[in-house]
Amino acid sequence: MRGHRVLAMLALVAVFVLVGAAPVRAGENAFVEVTPNPAQAGTRVSIRASCDNNNNRQATVQSDAFGRVVLRPDNGFLTGQVTIPGSKEPGDYRVDLRCDNGNTANTTLTVLNMQQPTKGPATGGGGTAGGPGSLLLIGGIAAVALAVGFGFFGSRRSGAGA
């Protein structure tokens, strides 16, 4: 008898849980993402979003990082690309998706603005670089060869006179 009561209680709890769970509506699965993230100022980023299960209508994305972009349907998602201006200050920028059906979503884009050097640092010529370093290397090899040659011929002469 007691086992039946436990089963009845579990069944009652299961009914409350299932009835209390709200069904997921098709329009509530909106999202937006930006890749790469973080992104260097001056680079092109891709935006992928969803407004509903169909994603067959355009949507817009707005951000202080890059302005306004229209996203178009592409293989079940809404996609677009935009270049972050090279002069954009580093920081976190909100990216807002607005769908025609009223759905919205947002994410954050982190913009980096590291100065790129125009040429490499002056760290020396290196052993294989052209210029005076190469001439010194060739001159040193020639001097060693001459010293070896004179030493060889000098030892033959002194051996011949003995």
What gap in Å lies between CA 142 and CA 160, rounded to an integer? 27
For the cut 60, the answer to whether the pLDDT of residue 88 exceeds it is: yes
Q: What amino acid occupies position 121?
A: P
Lowest mean pLDDT among 29-43, 73-87, 113-127: 113-127
For the cut 60, the answer to whether the pLDDT of residue 13 exceeds it is: no
According to DSSP, the residues that pair with 48 across neighbouring strands are 33, 79
What gap in Å lies between CA 158 and CA 155, rounded to an integer? 5
CATH numbers and ranges of domains, the chain: 26-112 (2.60.40.1930)
Token pair of 70 as six digits: 């229209």
pTM over the 0.75 mark: no
**Residue range 61-84, pLDDT digits in tens:** 999 999 999 999 999 999 999 999
Q: Which residue has the tokens 């052993």?
A: 127
